């Protein structure tokens, strides 16, 4: 009986020590930092630094972290992350299938080379099932910029698991207009993607100021759609259509190929030739441009244009053969923006 009492006493001492240790880890920012670093070193080695400014604990497994900072390597480039508040609710629920937990981040900022993210908010619900961990949530961002590229008032819903990630209800303000759409990425081999975006009333003057290049040849506003899908780094589907809903102006240089469809001595051709020589733009009441890939090496599309200034109305089908797969469009696009 005496031995039993001794064993019971030792057990109680160890139990109190365990609870004391757990209480220290749960409520002390420095202790929590140490535990998180140990976990990250095994599960997420790309996280180089992690620190917590403040910590509040709610029984049994909820925490509110303040002033969270981390440095994460993304393809070898360090990304600085900051969250004014990070709230973890019911974390222990993830130990068994069918239960859910949530993570909410407020006042998030990120910086990586030229990339800047400001004023982000994200709420994520996590649920464990027999097939693994799934998530669903919403995100909003005040402002994102990378070099001259910029978007603001961004909102989207997302969901996914270990096999795929889905983005829906994307909406943002870009260059005086709006962007909307969504996409899906397959994360398990064969890795793939499928994205569909719509643009409405994008200001060409703002595009020119930010990107230059091709957009110097446009005036007015642009609206359009873009559908891109592929596997790995390949582009298998490329389909886009653009128009100027309010009318605008087209650099005559861009219309040079269309003069082949006009009579050599016509007033329309003479007007466009003059604008090409002088570097001018042709005012248009209607403009539509479509482009899609018929095969990995061939593009086809339609150019429609109507201009009272030149007494011109054309609808021309054209084909473009590229020397490599359609993937080279991205390199051509980057060149056009320079």
Residue 155, in any domain of the structure: no
Instruction: Say whether 110 sits in a helix, a strand or coil.
Output: strand
Number of domains in the chain: 2
d(CA 309, CA 283): 6
Residue 152, in any domain of the structure: no
Burial 126-165 (b: 16+ CB within 10 A, else e): bbbeeeeebbbbebebeebeeeeeeeeebebebebbeeeb
d(CA 288, CA 314): 10
Are residues 68 and 190 located together in one domain of the fold?
no
pTM of the model: 0.82
User: For 190-228, what is each residue's pLDDT tens digit?
Assistant: 899 999 999 999 999 898 888 777 788 888 999 999 999
Residue 153, in any domain of the structure: no
Say what the pLDDT of residue 338 is: 43
Are residues 128 and 173 located together in one domain of the fold?
no
Are residues 68 and 215 located together in one domain of the fold?
no
User: For 254-291, what is each residue's pLDDT tens digit?
Assistant: 777 777 778 888 888 888 888 888 888 888 888 888 88
Say what the pLDDT of residue 6 is: 44
User: For 133-145, what is each residue's pLDDT tens digit?
Assistant: 899 999 999 999 9
Say what the pLDDT of residue 289 is: 86
Range of the domain at 209: 162-338
Are residues 118 and 79 located together in one domain of the fold?
yes
Find tokens 């499928």 and name the residue.
194
Say what the pLDDT of residue 193 is: 94
Say what the pLDDT of residue 20 is: 40
Q: What are phi and psi of 99, to 5 degrees?
A: -100, 160
Say what the pLDDT of residue 329 is: 56
Which has the closest alpha carbon to 172: 205, 148, 143, 147? 143
């Amino acid at each position: 009986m005496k031995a039993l009492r001794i064993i019971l006493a030792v057990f109680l001492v160890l139990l109190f020590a365990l609870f004391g240790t757990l209480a220290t880890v749960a409520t002390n920012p420095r202790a929590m930092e140490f535990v998180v670093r140990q976990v990250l070193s095994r599960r997420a080695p790309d996280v180089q630094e992690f620190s917590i400014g403040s910590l509040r604990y709610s029984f049994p497994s909820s925490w509110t972290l303040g002033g969270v900072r981390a440095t994460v390597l993304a393809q070898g480039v360090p990304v600085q992350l900051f969250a004014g508040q990070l709230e973890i609710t019911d974390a222990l629920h993830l130990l068994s299938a069918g239960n859910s937990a949530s993570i909410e981040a407020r006042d998030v900022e990120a910086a990586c080379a030229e990339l800047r993210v400001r004023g982000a908010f994200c709420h994520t619900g996590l649920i464990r099932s027999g097939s693994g961990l799934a998530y669903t949530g919403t995100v909003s961002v005040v402002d994102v910029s990378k070099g001259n590229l910029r978007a603001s008032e961004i909102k989207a819903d997302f969901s996914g698991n270990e096999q795929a990630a889905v983005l829906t209800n994307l909406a943002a303000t870009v260059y005086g207009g709006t962007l909307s759409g969504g996409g899906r990425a397959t994360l398990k081999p064969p890795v793939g993607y499928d994205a569909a975006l719509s643009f409405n009333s994008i200001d060409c003057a703002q595009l020119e100021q930010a990107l230059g290049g091709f957009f110097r040849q446009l005036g007015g506003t642009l609206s359009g759609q873009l559908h891109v899908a592929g596997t790995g780094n390949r582009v298998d589907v490329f389909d886009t259509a653009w128009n100027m809903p309010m009318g605008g102006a087209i650099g005559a240089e861009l219309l040079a190929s269309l003069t082949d469809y006009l009579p050599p001595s016509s007033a329309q051709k003479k007007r466009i030739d003059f604008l090409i020589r002088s570097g001018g733009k042709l005012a248009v009441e209607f403009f539509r441009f479509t482009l899609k890939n018929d095969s990995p090496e061939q593009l086809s599309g339609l150019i429609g244009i109507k201009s009272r200034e030149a007494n011109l109305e054309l609808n021309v089908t054209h084909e473009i053969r590229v020397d490599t797969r359609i993937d080279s469009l991205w390199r051509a696009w980057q060149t056009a923006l320079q």
